[in-house]
Structure 1
Amino acid sequence: MKVAFASTDKVHINEHFGKAKEFYLWEIGPDAAEFTGILQVDEGDGDADDRIEARSAALADCALVYVGQIGGPAAARLVAKKIHPLKSKTAEPITEVVTRLQEVLRGSPPPWLRKAMMKNAGAAKG
């Protein structure tokens, strides 16, 4: 599944969703994970709603988005697009989160995560 990470230093999950200029993209599965690129956000000169929409549209093919912080309206917009936002309380290293996510995927993922995994499985078939 595709997962995005908001970071200011390319290492830690520490950026606010609404301020992120770029997201670090990973393809993560139970047995393999790889960094696949950087998504640059072009938000133009819009207001807060436009900035949220620009980010959520750019992340449309991601199942999960890890951020340092996110506001309620932005989180709701992501959920409406079937993207699950997750906050990192401690600016965790991206690679540690990737490893933990793989461990969960190898075991018995919670229902919300199984649903997120199906988003990308459906996209791959279509």
Structure 2
Amino acid sequence: MLNTRRKLSVEPKPSNGEPNLIVAFATQDRRHVDQHFGSARCVMIYNVDATQWSLLEAVEYCSVDEDRHAKLPTRISDLSELNCSAIFCNACGVSAIRQLLENGINPIKVHLDTDIHSLISGLQQQLLGEPMGWVKRALKAHSGLQGQKRNQGERPTPDSDRLSQLMDEEW
């Protein structure tokens, strides 16, 4: 079976209790949003709160001759696993938009070469003030998800087995 992606997962920093968002960026150079969601070579996923941010995962999609629509379930699953609230990209097809929204992920279209750290700073400013639109909805959904996990006795952070999986993965 051909491996079509590589993942680097970083153990999340302990939560400081502030509201946070998990957001992704479609990028090739890992500094700017410069890719279409369906054909992105890399997706960087960050945990952002009002005072700090941290990289959670970098997913690199290997070049294979596949239909963009055939790639969507894997890409959306990669975002859903981390409870990602949004994906920033330069473009996104109608089918992808529908599937992302069904999974609680907001596709956010930004101009080509928008700096990722500038976008993170903008999110932090919203988190310091009164969040609006998708940010407000995402925070509300995220707090509900955290409460459900605590009620079920689960940890709100990703599984510790992820580090073991990363160690076993062939790079």
TM-score scaled by length of structure 1: 0.87
The residue that corresponds to 1:73 in the other structure is 95
In the TM superposition, residue 49 of structure 1 has moved relative to its aligned partner by: 2.8
- Highest CA radius of gyration, 1 or 2? 2
Q: 1:78 to 1:36 in 2, by over 3 A?
A: same
Any idea what SS the aligned residue of 1:31 has?
coil
Match of 2:139 among 98, 103, 117: 117
Give the CA RMSD over aligned residues.
Answer: 2.0
Runs (4+) off by over 4 Å = 41-46
Q: 1:120 to 1:40 in 2, by over 3 A?
A: farther
The residue that corresponds to 1:82 in the other structure is 104
Q: Percent identity?
A: 24
TM-score scaled by length of structure 2: 0.66
Letter in 2 for 1:97: L
- The count of residues paired between Structure 1 and Structure 2 equals 126
Deviations 1:45-69 (A, max 9, x none): 7543321111111111201110111
Any idea what SS the aligned residue of 2:44 has?
strand
Alignment of 1:22-41 (within 5 A): 22-41=42-61
The residue that corresponds to 1:4 in the other structure is 24
Unaligned runs of 5+ in 1: none
The residue that corresponds to 1:102 in the other structure is 124
Q: 1:88 to 1:111 in 2, by over 3 A?
A: closer
Distance 1:88 1:31 in 2: 23
In the TM superposition, residue 28 of structure 1 has moved relative to its aligned partner by: 0.4
Distance 2:114 2:68 in 1: 27
Letter in 2 for 1:15: Q
Q: 1:35 to 1:52 in 2, by over 3 A?
A: same
Q: 1:107 to 1:22 in 2, by over 3 A?
A: same
Deviations 1:99-121 (A, max 9, x none): 01100111111142111123333
Which one has more relative contact order, counting CA pairs under 8 Å at least 6 apart?
1
